[in-house]
Amino acid sequence: MIKAHSYFQTPLWIEHKPEFIKSLDKASNKYIKESRKEKKLHIDKFGDFGISYHSTPLTLDNNFLDFRNYVGQKSWEFLDWQGFDMQQYTTMFSEMWVQEFAKKGGGHHSAHVHWNQHVSGFYFLKCSDKTSYPVFHEPRNGARATKLKMKDQKNILIGSDLIHVKPTPGTLIIFPGYLEHEFAVDYGKEPFRFIHWNIQAIPNEVFIFIIQKKFK
């Protein structure tokens, strides 16, 4: 009897975490306003179609501290769950920012990866079934090169090469930084705002060195 084995899996952790929505949406307002102000000349002349409003880094803003702590711990658990020896590592944010797509629509992200990042993630503050959503791509080059037509286009199967995740406000997604992803074009029907971050697993001795140097 043949026994099926599934190796080289690509994990996504998806959780509904609504308790952060209110505080983070409020804290992120000033960043979106600042980004709009920076783009005012362009908007006045050409409109805001296709624009993505992007904040400055959130890694030092204490309004996001509880959320960073939660995501940092979950990212450590995410790597530990995959079998990595996380007793030797500490998770550390490389970057975190908030984005909002243009009210006139056209906002999107082309497919990309975050090289040298162990964990990436999204937290959705404003979204609906009428807004954009993340699309994840098959990460194995060999599987892409030998892709066949699927007999079921509606459901996610082992052979699927694109995964569409439709978030609701409070959806948290954690995934490997190497996983290629994009955002579908937004049509501007409803607000679309989310927080994005990248995390590295730093060897403990390196992390201690960084902390000692910072506070020396």
Q: What whole-number distance in Å separates Cα of residue 44 and Cα of residue 86?
A: 50
Rounded to an integer, the average pLDDT of 34-61 is 90
Q: pTM of whole model > 0.95?
A: no
The residues facing 136 across adjacent strands are: 163, 181
pLDDT digits (tens, 9 = 90+) for 144-160: 899 999 888 788 888 89
Give the DSSP per-residue string, 48-96: STT-EEEPPP-TT-GGGHHHHHHHHHHHHHHHHHTT--GGGEEEEEEEE
Sorting pLDDT into bands at 50, 70 and 90, what band is 215?
Answer: confident
Architecture of domain 13-149+157-214: Sandwich (2.60)
Give the pLDDT of residue 94: 96
Q: What whole-number distance in Å separates Cα of residue 69 and Cα of residue 88?
A: 19
pLDDT exceeds cutoff 90 at 39 = no
Q: Which of 91, 39, 87 is nearest to 197 (CA)?
A: 91
Instruction: Domain ranges for the chain, please list them.
Output: 13-149+157-214
